[in-house]
Amino acid sequence: MEKFYITTPIYYPSGKFHIGTAYTTTLADTIRRYKKLRGFDTFMLTGTDEHGQKIETVAKEHGKTPKEHVDEMAQMAKDLWNLMNIKYDYFIRTTEPRHEKAVQDIFEYFLQKGDIYKGEYEGWYCMPCETYFTETQLVDGKCPDCGRDVRLMKEEAYFFNMKKYVDKLLKYYDEHPDFIQPEYRKTEMINNFIKPGLEDLCVTRTTFDWGIKVKSDPKHVIYVWLDALTNYVTALGYKQEDDSLYRKLWPADLQIVGKDIARFHLIYWPIFLMALDLPLPKKILVHNFIMMKDGKMSKSKGNVVYPEKLISRYGVDATRYFLLREMQTSQDGLYTPESFIERYNSDLCNDLGNLVNRTVSMVNKYFEGNVPEYNGTPNEVDKEFEEFTNSQIKKVEKLIDKYEIADALKSIPTPVEEAVVEEQIVEEPKVEQVVAAEQQYANETTFEAKPSLWQRIKNSKIVRAVKAITRIRIVLDYSDALPEGRGENNQ
């Protein structure tokens, strides 16, 4: 069986996750389900990125130790993914001793190789926040978090020599046109970060404690990105005694990240892997943002939407559907309560919901709850519908294979609408159809209880409708709407 290793970013457990964070994981889970249905041996990794100054500060604000805080938050994340029907194969926490040890070893290896060197970090430091900012992060020359004055300060720090690998990276981009999706993100990286001259990356700090210590120089803490990015391989056992999963699964087939962390995954991550002499992931998919009417979601604006609320009101499938349907790969999606309700009412209740309900009730009414066997195409109308549905299925599959999930969902309603029309014919037969069916019945030469033509029409149309619904379940898990196990054999 061919393997398919898919990863999400590991999330900062600084606060409750909103629908933007939930989007990345829902997208990954959807692709995982699809690949599994297509016969792949899938493995999905998610987790939490638990070190750093912000976590230390948030924990303090809550009167907790960082460890107590991240333990609670990791559980919160697991509960949310469970609520959202998201299944992962491993949940990595960067505070796991095996990850910490592997990161320390990687650091020492880079140090020995000369890829990491000691230098001086200079930045704008905010005393009350105990945080460095770059010039561009400042707001009117003040701290972007608390608005107070900042001071230009220097500290001893370790740097990763990014410049050494730039040409190799550009060559890799060139030779692997499928590495980054969508392609314009690659152009963005080249124009915005590489052409102006890639800076070496500062990989340690001495101003806070909550992090992995450098083995050979423990007053330094490994700064978040080297710690965070390597999770994708340490979770599989890389640099550990049992590395069988690593050997089976690496390189990843798909790594999904949001646009705000594209730079770290498209430049630094490939360079770290090159420095380790490891193969690069086959594809990194960068998605856009879910926006609010007044811009980005943020606590200070008070416009944050949490998935639990939508789920308790509208259910998990509707919430997943909205997130996936609203976000095109290359464009930001917009959340408004109105757009959510509109999708819920028109796409799900009117079209899909009605079709599912009527089909299930017909299966119960005419076939004692068993999906009848499909015996071939009995008439022209059916044939046309079958051909149409099959061609739409191909289209949907192609789109999902390209990870264009919103577009794939957009093409599903067409067969659903068709199926609704078909199924209405079954429920409300036209007089001529009944007469024709009766006629056929009367012409049957034996009086044995053979199914009449009408019965056969009904039979095949219901099978079609069930088929259409089971296909849709590839994207939305509607198993609860169908009697258990029904429809599985009819795909």
CA distance 34 to 52: 35
Provide the CA 5 distance to its chain's centre, in angstroms: 13
CA distance 443 to 450: 12
**What are the structure tokens assigned to 376, written together?**
């071939």
Q: Between helices 453-472 and 354-367, what is the axis angle to 10°?
A: 140
Closest CB to ligand MSP: residue number: 258
What's the min distance (Å) between Cβ of 407 and ligand MSP? 18
- Report if residue 289 touches ligand MSP, rule: CB under 6 A: yes
Q: How far is CA 138 from CA 129, 144, 146, in A?
A: 13, 5, 11
Which of residues 260 and 294 has its CB atom nearest to ligand MSP in the complex?
260
CA distance 368 to 370: 6
Which of residues 340 and 385 has its CB atom nearest to ligand MSP in the complex?
340
**What are the structure tokens assigned to 322, written together?**
């909205």
What's the min distance (Å) between Cβ of 285 and ligand MSP? 11
- Report if residue 228 touches ligand MSP, rule: CB under 6 A: yes
Q: What are the phi and psi torsion angles at 306 (to 5°)?
A: -100, 140
Provide the CA 179 distance to its chain's centre, in angstroms: 17
Which of residues 316 and 324 has its CB atom nearest to ligand MSP in the complex?
324
What's the min distance (Å) between Cβ of 260 and ligand MSP? 5
Q: Which stretch binds ligand MSP (CB under 6 A): 162-170, 227-235, 341-349, 454-462?
A: 227-235
- Report if residue 49 touches ligand MSP, rule: CB under 6 A: yes
Which of residues 235 and 482 has its CB atom nearest to ligand MSP in the complex?
235
Using CB under 6 A as the criterion, what x/- string covers residues 181-220 for binding ligand MSP?
----------------------------------------
**Locus of tokens 């015996």:** 375
What's the min distance (Å) between Cβ of 225 and ligand MSP? 7
Site residues (CB under 6 A) for ligand MSP, limited to 291-350: 297
Residue 4 exposed, middle or buried by CB count within 10 Å (0-12, 13-18, 19+): buried
CA distance 197 to 220: 27
111 CB-near residues (< 8 Å, 6+ apart): 158, 216
Which of residues 20 and 307 has its CB atom nearest to ligand MSP in the complex?
20
**Locus of tokens 């007089």:** 431
- Report if residue 258 touches ligand MSP, rule: CB under 6 A: yes
What's the min distance (Å) between Cβ of 374 and ligand MSP? 41
What's the min distance (Å) between Cβ of 66 and ligand MSP? 15
What's the min distance (Å) between Cβ of 256 and ligand MSP? 7
What's the min distance (Å) between Cβ of 47 and ligand MSP? 9
**b/e map 109-127, b = 16+ CB within 10 Å:** ebbeeebbeeeebebbbbe
CA distance 23 to 35: 18
Q: Which stretch binds ligand MSP (CB under 6 A): 32-40, 224-232, 368-376, 449-457?
A: 224-232
Edge to edge, the sheet with strand 151-160 lists 131-133, 116-126, 151-160, 201-202
- Report if residue 257 touches ligand MSP, rule: CB under 6 A: yes
- Report if residue 229 touches ligand MSP, rule: CB under 6 A: yes
Number of residues that bind ligand MSP (CB under 6 A): 19
Which of residues 68 and 260 has its CB atom nearest to ligand MSP in the complex?
260
Site residues (CB under 6 A) for ligand MSP, limited to 4-33: 9-12, 20-21, 23-24
What's the min distance (Å) between Cβ of 233 and ligand MSP? 11
Site residues (CB under 6 A) for ligand MSP, limited to 394-453: none
Nearest CA to 238 among 105, 48, 396, 415? 105
> Which stretches of the chain bind ligand MSP, using CB under 6 A?
9-12, 20-21, 23-24, 49, 228-229, 231, 257-258, 260-261, 289-290, 297
